[in-house]
Every structure is written in structure tokens, then in C-alpha cells.
């Protein structure tokens, strides 16, 4: 009998990662029944998207509250499907608020569960990891230090490699040609994030630092990795590229980067960086009390040391950013060369292509 699998990915990035897993599952079991809570990428990969995520996924606190009842109905319907024995395995991709509850429903009905791309519980919610341990059979994780953490709370976790290593990363020459940047120019990349609230907090200090570097001649051009709807006031002397950040990073000699996945993208392009982050003071005070890790940037967490400078809250002033990024704009400087060596080490720790195939292999083991 072909396996019957439910895949749950409730937001766009999870939809893309889940789609690659479905392609690997289809290669292994062409006749498998694969139903999904997901979107267009899963549909294109050959899953039967019974529950389109567009009906459930929204942005904003109030809008999220309006989708609470539909999520509860979906959880009830899928729980009933588990009880009927409709599925042999469920593969849950990120989206922890919903997927953890779905894993618990599967466990109650004896359905095996594989969780791919774990929430960052190691940062500040280690206690919640025990709840995962009680609900999940296996985890496929994308950061090399995660198996150590999850095994400490009783979850069998396997590092399958980070999805970023699957992508094509443009060379400096490719990126500069595409963006129309001369090879001789010294370029600063500015990556202020993708969410409106993040951009509004960090853009002013990033902009002021970039303009100071332009005025003093430390760089010749500033490229901003912007979003389609992002607003960047006062940026008349910078170029906002509304597209993938990878091209902007690859074209740059150094970068100012908001903490997040973009720091790993900069590592993949080998671009030296200074990482900064600003949140509401109350949020910062709470985070300081509950955080369990020494670093906030993924680059430093993967490297297990300070590969790149981290400037948080009041430390992330324009003056300090300028002082830390200035030497990185010179590729021959000791600071730039040391960082490039560290970033190469980080890239090596992110694994090799084939994460989706490794997830499919774990699925086969769970299916027996």
C-alpha cells in the first residue's frame, strides 16, 4: 500500500520548504497519497492542498485573532482524520503555534510525526521543548547545534543541512553586473529587514550610518535591500533595490544587517557585516531575562563564537555602526579578512545540498 501522508505548512516560506520535501517523497513513492495544509508551491509539487493556507494566514495582531476560529476548526477536522486512520504519517514544517497542537492530535491517534525546521526554542523557551518531545517522533533540523539541544530534552533530532545551501549565490561580478555597479566602487549593503515594524525602528540608524560613510568617502555607493512595500525616508543618496537581498549582499564589500536569516545570507555570499537589532525597550528587557543563548545572530550561533559584531539596542548607534563597519569596507584590512575566514567556516557548518531528500529518508524510517 502506498503511504498516506499529511503535510502541514501554514505560511509562504514553509510552503516552499515543504514543496521540496514532497518532490522527494514523490520520487520515492509516486503513488503516495499526500494531502496538505499549504499553498501554491506544495500544489505545484504534487500535493493535494485540501486546506489552502491563504484562508488562514494573515499579518498583524488583530488580523491574526480573526483567524483563530478557522485554525481551531482546521485542527478539529485534522484531528478527526487522524482518529479515522486517514494518515500513516504527518510532516509538519515550521509554523509552531499550530503545528505543535497538530502533532499532539496525531500522537493521541497513534500517527507518527516528523517535524521539519524547528522553532528556535533554544533561544528562550527550552521548557516548551519538552512539550515537543512528548508530541513528536523525529525532528529534522537545519542548524548544526540543534540536535544537541533537542536531544537534551528527549527529542531525536537529525541535522539535515540548511536550505540556503541549495540556492545559487551570485558572485561579486555577477551581482555587480546585474545591478550596474562598477567593479572599482566600494559598496555598502544595508539590510534593514522585511517587516514594517522592524524597518521603521532600524532604518533611521542604518541610514544615518550609511550617509556618514558616504560623506567621509569610506564607500562610494549604498545599496539597500528593500521590500516591495517598504518605506525608506531620507534615502535620496542611496539606491533601494526591491528584490532579493542576495544580489545586494553579493555586490557589497561590507554590510549593515538586521539580525535574522539575512545574516546567514550574507555568510553565503561571504560579505563581512555588522549585525544590529532594535526592539521596544520593554521587549528588550523581557528578552534579556529569558534568553538562554550568548549571541543573537545566527552567524555567531552557528560559528559558536563572535564571528561578526553584534550591536543591540542603545549600542546600535550610528556612530558605533560607522566605527565597526568602516574597516570592513576595505577588503585588504585585517578585520575584513578575519571575518571572511570566519564566514567560510560558518558556510561549511551549514551542511550540504539534499536536505529534502534527507527528510524523505527519515519519513521512510518512520513508515517502516
What's the CA gap between 139 and 142, in Å, rounded? Answer: 10
Taking alpha carbons only, the member of 110, 111, 97 closest to residue 6 is 111
d(C-alpha 314, C-alpha 286), whole Å: 16
Contact 95, 74 (CB under 8 A): no
Domain boundaries, the chain: 4-161+352-367, 172-349
Confidence band of 313 (pLDDT split at 50, 70, 90): confident
CB 141, CB 157: distance < 8 Å: yes
d(CA 318, CA 204): 9
Q: How far apart are CA 213 and CA 191, in angstroms?
A: 16
CA–CA dist 230, 248 (Å, integer): 16
Cβ atoms within 10 Å, residue 127:
9
**What percentage of the chain has pLDDT greater than the value 90?**
73
CATH architecture of the domain covering 172-349: 3-Layer(aba) Sandwich (3.40)
Collect all residues with Cβ–Cβ distance below 8 Å to 174 and sequence separation of at least 6: 250
Q: What confidence score (pLDDT) does residue 292 get?
A: 58
Which band of pLDDT confidence, cut at 50, 70 and 90, is reported for residue 197?
Answer: confident
The reply to whether domains 4-161+352-367 and 172-349 share a CATH topology is yes
In percent, the amount of the chain with pLDDT more than 70 equals 91
The predicted-structure confidence for 85-136, as pLDDT tens digits, reads as follows: 999 999 999 998 899 999 999 999 999 999 999 887 765 666 678 888 899 9
* Distance in angstroms (rounded) separating the CA atoms of residues 145 and 123: 12
Does the domain spanning 4-161+352-367 belong to CATH 3.40.50.2000? yes
Q: How far apart are the first and last CA of the chain?
A: 12
Q: Is the pLDDT of residue 299 over 80?
A: yes
CB 225 within 8 Å of CB 239 = no
Amino acid at each position: 500500500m502506498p503511504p498516506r501522508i499529511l503535510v502541514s505548512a501554514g505560511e509562504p516560506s514553509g510552503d516552499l520548504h515543504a514543496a521540496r520535501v514532497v518532490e522527494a517523497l514523490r520520487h520515492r513513492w509516486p503513488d503516495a497519497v499526500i494531502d496538505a495544509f499549504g499553498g501554491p508551491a506544495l500544489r505545484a509539487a504534487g500535493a493535494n492542498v485540501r486546506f489552502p493556507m491563504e484562508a488562514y494566514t494573515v499579518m498583524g495582531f488583530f488580523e491574526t485573532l480573526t483567524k483563530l476560529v478557522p485554525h481551531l476548526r482546521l485542527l478539529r477536522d485534522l484531528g478527526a482524520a487522524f482518529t479515522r486512520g486517514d494518515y500513516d504519517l504527518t510532516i509538519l514544517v515550521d509554523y509552531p503555534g499550530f503545528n505543535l497542537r497538530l502533532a499532539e492530535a496525531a500522537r493521541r491517534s497513534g500517527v507518527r510525526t516528523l517535524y521539519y525546521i524547528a522553532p528556535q526554542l533554544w533561544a528562550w523557551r527550552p521548557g516548551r521543548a519538552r512539550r515537543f518531545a512528548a508530541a513528536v517522533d523525529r525532528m529534522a533540523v537545519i542548524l548544526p547545534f540543534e540536535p544537541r539541544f533537542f536531544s537534551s530534552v528527549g527529542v531525536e533530532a537529525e541535522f539535515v543541512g540548511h536550505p540556503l545551501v541549495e540556492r545559487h549565490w551570485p558572485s561579486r561580478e555577477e551581482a555587480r553586473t546585474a545591478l550596474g555597479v562598477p567593479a572599482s566602487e566600494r559598496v555598502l549593503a544595508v539590510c534593514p529587514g522585511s517587516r514594517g515594524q522592524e524597518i521603521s525602528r532600524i532604518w533611521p540608524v542604518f541610514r544615518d550610518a550609511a550617509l556618514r560613510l558616504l560623506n567621509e568617502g569610506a564607500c562610494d555607493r549604498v545599496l539597500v535591500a528593500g521590500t516591495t512595500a517598504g518605506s525608506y525616508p531620507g534615502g535620496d543618496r542611496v539606491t533601494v533595490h526591491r528584490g532579493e537581498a542576495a544580489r545586494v549582499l553579493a555586490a557589497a564589500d561590507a554590510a549593515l544587517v538586521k539580525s535574522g536569516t539575512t545574516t546567514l545570507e550574507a555568510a553565503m555570499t561571504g560579505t563581512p557585516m555588522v549585525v544590529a537589532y532594535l526592539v521596544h525597550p520593554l521587549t528588550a528587557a523581557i528578552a534579556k531575562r529569558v534568553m538562554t543563548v550568548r549571541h543573537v545572530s545566527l552567524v555567531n550561533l552557528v560559528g559558536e563564537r563572535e564571528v561578526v559584531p553584534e550591536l543591540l539596542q542603545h549600542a546600535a548607534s550610528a556612530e558605533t555602526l560607522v566605527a565597526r563597519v568602516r574597516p570592513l569596507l576595505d577588503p585588504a584590512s585585517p578585520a575584513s579578512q578575519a571575518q571572511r575566514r570566519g564566514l567560510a567556516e560558518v558556510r561549511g557548518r551549514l551542511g550540504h545540498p539534499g536536505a529534502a531528500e534527507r527528510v524523505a529518508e527519515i519519513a521512510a524510517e518512520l513508515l517502516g
